[in-house]
Every structure is written in C-alpha cells, then in structure tokens.
Amino acid sequence: MKISFITTTYNSLETLKECIKSVSECSIKDMEHIVADDGSTDRTIEYIKNLNSFNIKLISCGRVGRANALNIAIEKAKGDFICILDSDDLVIPDNFGLFIDFIVRKDMLENYDVFYGNIVINGINKNSPTKKNHSENQINYRELNKKTLLFYNRIPNVCALIKKKSAHDVGYYNNKRVSQIDFDLWLRMVINNNKFLKIEIPIGIKRLHENQFFERKNHFKYTFSGVSLAINFACTKYNKCLCIASCFVGGLRLVWSILPRSLRVTLRTYGKL
C-alpha cells in the first residue's frame, strides 16, 4: 500500500516547514508528499525546490483555490490512499505509523473507504503532544454510523486516509464550493455507500489560529454553510425525521458559532463540548 500525503498551501511557508518535517519523520516505507502550491507569493516554491528529498513533489497550481489544487494533486498522486494534511497542521509520526500498521494487520484495507483517527487541538505556538504508547489490544475502533454526518461533520480532515479510487468515484472535491469541501466529499461518499472507520489513536494536530478561514470574522457564515449542506442532504436524500433532526442540531451549531472565539478554542482544547 502506497500513501500520498497531500498538502495545499498559500503563503504559509513557516507552518508548511513544520508540516513537511512532521511527514518526513513518519516511518512509512512507501509514501510520497505532494505539496500543491495555490499561487503563493512568498518563498514557498523556492523552499520546496531546494529540499533534498525524493519523497516531496511540488505542483505549482496557480491561484485556483483549495478544491482545484487538491484535485490536481490527487490526479497526480501515485498512492492507493491519499492523506490530506493542511499546511498549518501536523501529523504525529509515531502514532500515524501505528495507525497504518493496525489497519494492515487487521486486514481492513478492502473493507473501508475512509480511515480516520483522533486529532489534537492546539494553538499555533503550543508544543506537540508527546508520543503515547499503544498496544494493539488497547486500540478501539468502530465503523461510523453514516447518518450521523447529516447532523454535523464528525470526520476531521487532518490525516484522514482516503481510498483514491473511492474519491475518484464521487468526483473528488467539489470545486464550486469555497468552504466545507471536506464535509461535502464525505456526504457524497455516504450517498455512494462508502464505509468509514474510526481508529481511536491521536494521529494529527489541528493548530487553530486567527488567520484560518473558519476562525475569521466570517465564522458564522462558515458554520451556516456547513449546516445548510447537512440539512440539504438530510432533506433531499433521507426521510422527514432525519431532516427535522438535522435542522435542530444545525440550530445548536449556529448558536455555538456566535460564541467568542477564545471561549470556543478553550472548550475545544479541554474537550468540554
């Protein structure tokens, strides 16, 4: 099994360096790291070209948007599975290696289309979590009840392992959307009867900061977009009860979105909600 890490970037060189370093420390033998540059005007392209690593491949996409940049990279990816990692996020190398070993040892590759784990929410300047020891007998896993995605996005895009063929079958990422493209992909895969498995290992770090799209002043608009997406799928593809439930949960999420950012980050960090 070959894995293609895919990172899109736009003028985020400093965090990209740390992202690349985290991937390079993974012990996976058969992998590549594709960096799709979405028209950066900083030194990103120069930096990538000067790296002495045969595993890193640069694709200069121009200013085409994240969805198009991802689709271009996926088309060129040689891996059987793709692993999306934004330029400001990190993989936890040892845990990700254990995550992959567990999937292979349990012979799960043919049975599921998306594998995902736990993520650590961290501020941009905080230290990464230390390695935790996991034995195979201590690792829990469960198949996702796909209908729960009609309420909100339960699958973090950080280090989600996606079968390339399955993504191809639903048309990859929707380039007509400017946000929530990961959620949109999951929902289309649900309609296509693809299967999702969560493995209870922390495999990635989501670093929250004020420059992120969803943490800017348009956070309510971003959340509303996701709520609308979920409700649309629930009401057009499923029954009335699921439609009503999706609307109710969506309303709660909109209330969450108007809370002060500092409070939301604190609650996420300590897992109180």
Sorted by where each starts, the structural domains of the chain and their CATH numbers stand as 3-213 (3.90.550.10)
Per the model's pLDDT, the better-predicted residue between 88 and 136 turns out to be 88
For residue 138, what pLDDT is reported?
Answer: 78
Question: Strand 196-208 vs strand 141-143: parallel, antiparallel, or unpaired?
Answer: antiparallel
User: pLDDT band for position 130 (50/70/90)?
Assistant: very low
- The HSE-up count of residue 185 (CA atoms within 13 Å, CB side) is 28
Range with lowest mean pLDDT among 154-168, 204-218, 236-250: 204-218
Q: What is the pLDDT of residue 167?
A: 96
d(CA 13, CA 27): 24
**Tokens encoding 147:** 């209908």
Say how far apart CA 100 and CA 104 lie, in whole Å: 6
133, pLDDT greater than 80: no
Q: What pLDDT shows up at residue 26?
A: 93
Other C-beta atoms closer than 10 Å to the C-beta of 189 total 23
pLDDT more than 90, % of the chain = 57
Give the mean model confidence (pLDDT) for residues 9-15: 92
Q: Give the whole-number percent of the chain exceeding pLDDT 70.
A: 89
Query: pLDDT tens-digit profile of 174-226?
Result: 999 888 899 999 999 999 999 999 999 999 999 876 665 555 557 778 788 88
Q: Do the Cβ atoms of 84 and 56 come closer than 8 Å?
A: no
| Across 132-148, average pLDDT | 79
Write the DSSP assignment of 62-128 as a string of letters.
-S--HHHHHHHHHHH---SEEEE--TT-EE-HHHHHHHHHHHHHTT-TTT-SEEEEEEEEEETTSPP
**Strands (DSSP E) along the chain, which ranges?**
3-9, 31-37, 56-60, 81-84, 90-91, 114-123, 141-143, 161-163, 196-208
